[in-house]
Each structure stands twice: as C-alpha cells, then as structure tokens.
Amino acid sequence: MKPVKIAMMGMTHGHTRKYYQTLLENKKLDWVASCAQDEEAKKVYEIYKTGVPCYLDPDQMYADHPDIEAVVIASANDRHYEQMKWCAEKGIHILSMKIPSFDMEEYDRMIELVDQAGIVCQIELEMHYNPVVKRLKKLIDEGAIGKVKAVQATNITLSPVWAFPWQGDPKASFGKVVPLKKGDPRFRGGALCDHPHIFDLIRHLTGSSFDYIYAEVAPNLRKELKVEDMLMAVGKLKDGTAFLFDPSWSRLEERLKVPGPGWERFPKRMEVNVTITGEKGMLSCDCFGPNVYHNGAPNDRYTVQYTYFDEWVGLIDEFVDCIRNHKTPLINLKWHKETIHAMLGCYESLETGKIARI
C-alpha cells in the first residue's frame, strides 16, 4: 500500500506531541510537513527534533507539498472549522482533535463540508484503541456482569492550561464566551471541554444513547482560571443506565510551559477508571494500568509513571485504512455529535439548575 502523505496543523493541542512517534514509525505514512499556529508553537515543535519541516503559513506548506493527502488538525477548538474548510476544499482527509466544535450550526457545516468533499474525517477519541477498553467492551458484550445498570467513570487529569493556554481561554476552548451560570464569574471552556472520552465511552459500551444529564460545578482548585476546573455530572441513558461522570482537572500540576517529567504534583497525571454495576455482578476497571513508580528526578517525590499503551498507533491505523479503502471511521462527525450534545447538556444544566434532555 502506498504510504499516505500526511501533515500536521496548528501544533498547539495538548495531544500534538503524541503523534510524532507514530507518524515517524508507521510505514503506512509519510509525514511530509507541519504547520505551526505561531512562532511560539513552532519553537516548541522544534524541541522534539522530528526532522519534518515546519511552516507558519498553511498555503506555503501546501504549495511546497501539493501531494499532502491527510492532515492531523492539532489546534485550539476555535480554529477547527477554518482548518477543516481549508482541508475539505483541497480534498485532504482530516484527523480532527476530540472537540470539532461546540457550535452545533458550525458542526453541521463541518459535516456538509466533509460529505461534499468525499473525504475521511476521523475524530481523535483514542480510548477506542486502548486494550483495556477493548477487553471491557468484550466482557460486557459477553454478559460477564449481565445487563449494565449503572456506570461511574472518571476522566480526571492535571490541567494543561499552563502549557496550552487556549484551554483556559473561553473563546478558544468553547468557541465563544459564555458565563457558566448567573452570578458565577467563570465561563464555559474548562475541564469539561478537555474530557469527552467518558461521554463517548458509555455509548460505545452500552450501545444506548443519552436521555438526560444533570451537572454541578464545584469551587475551582486554580483560582486564576476563567473556566471551570471541577465539575461532575449524573444522568441516564435511554436504556435506563444510570451514570456518574467526573471530567475534572482534579490533579494538580507544576505550571510547566512544555510538558515533561515532573509535570504532575499529585503522583498521578491522569486516570480513566470505570466501575459498572450489572444485573449479575460488578466490574471495576483502570484503563491505564499497571504502571511503574519512582521518587527520582526532577522533583524527588513519589510519582506514578505511565506504561502507556499508545492508543495513537491503532487510531492512525484506522485512519489510513479508511483513506485507502474508502471506509468511514468508527468515530466520525455524525457519531460524535451526540457526545458533544451531552457535553453541552452539562453546561445547560449548570446554567439552569435542571436536567438537560439530550
């Protein structure tokens, strides 16, 4: 199979660096260029010494590499539409970050663009390529605990805002400046916008869809933030499954400009844990374990060091397969729309104090 000529755009998303190894190692790909949002993003990109040229102007990149077939859009949420449009106009396939847009009119225009251009647009929800999630789905499908009755899931991390400031900017993260609720000085665009995975996962595991959702926001851990960093949600799926989600930035961090060792202050950077009650039993699951532990450099304090599974390998494999074999990715814009609706439902509930119907 001819390798797919691929490029990256934006380079400001927290997941940007996670692609480098896969793009360089995967023989089905030929990573030809990158295009940074600005000088700052280019400077950070160059630290990683990928050997792939980095531009600041996408048109210049395309002029120099007119054979680009696919782009990983690794930018702030409010830049996604213009970049998708740029790709669609050129018939370039798209791998989008996890939040294409929170503006549902814009979201529908993205669907139109992709459909009209006949291109692949895959959404980056890497948990689908995690081996623990694969086992979890298999166990549930095989009836290990019977029909699912209740799910609790965490998607808790440190806050990436110090390295990726757009994630603390209501406009760049949520797409527009919307207060959380009356009398609250914070705006939409924080931890919730960073953590769609559990909203997606429950649909994937149960095959059901959201009925309603209710959310509560708690006092921020980081008083400087304009956006929420602690919130939780409960609700039900249409099949009656009761859920409790924690998508908070509840793990404190060192305020590094570039992520690296010592970023975490809580010993653990991130956790996606799930407990499920079924008709026949219970199941608890740590999607990122087992790990290794140390108290060495740089801070000489107890640290959980991940033994990452590198979900990006499977994600890219699917993307290439869809491009070469004209398939639709499992996580496409249309599938993902309900997940975005559920996340918006959380914000609606925070504003009204009532459940939001999805």
Partner 1 sequence: MNIKKMNKGLDFLCTKYGAKKGEITLKDGHCFVGATPLLPQRVERKIVELLKMTENGTLEGVSTLRFASFAPKGADVQALLARELDVAAYLGKAKVVRVMAVANGPAINALVKLANDVNCSVEISAGLPRGQAAYDRHEIICARGVGSDQTIDTHTPHASIRVSGAKGMEEYTDVDTELFGMTYEEVWNVRAAFALLQNPKLGAEWKKAYAAANKAAASCFAADKAKRAKTL
Binding site for partner 1 (CB under 8 A): 145, 149-150, 152, 212, 214-223, 230-236, 240-244, 246, 248, 250-252, 266-268, 273, 275, 277-279, 281-282, 284-286, 289, 291, 293, 304, 353-355
Pairing mode of beta strands 70-73, 93-96: parallel
The angle at the Cα of 20, spanning 14 to 26, to the nearest 5 degrees, equals 135
Partnered with residue 245 across adjacent β-strands are 153, 233
CA atoms of 86 and 81, how far apart (whole Å)? 9
In the bound complex, what is the minimum distance in angstroms from residue 216's beta carbon to partner 1?
Answer: 5
**Nearest distance, CB of residue 217 and partner 1, angstroms:** 7
Smallest distance, partner 1 to C-beta of residue 269, A = 11
What single string gives the DSSP state of each residue in 249-271? --S-B---SS--TT-BSSS-SEE
d(CA 152, CA 166): 29
From the CB of 135, what's the least distance to partner 1, in Å? 15
DSSP calls for 14-64: TTGGGGHHHHHH-TTEEEEEEEESSHHHHHHHHHT-----EES-HHHHHHH
Based on CB atoms, which residue is closest to partner 1, 209 or 275?
Answer: 275
Shortest Cβ distance from residue 252 to partner 1 (Å)?
8
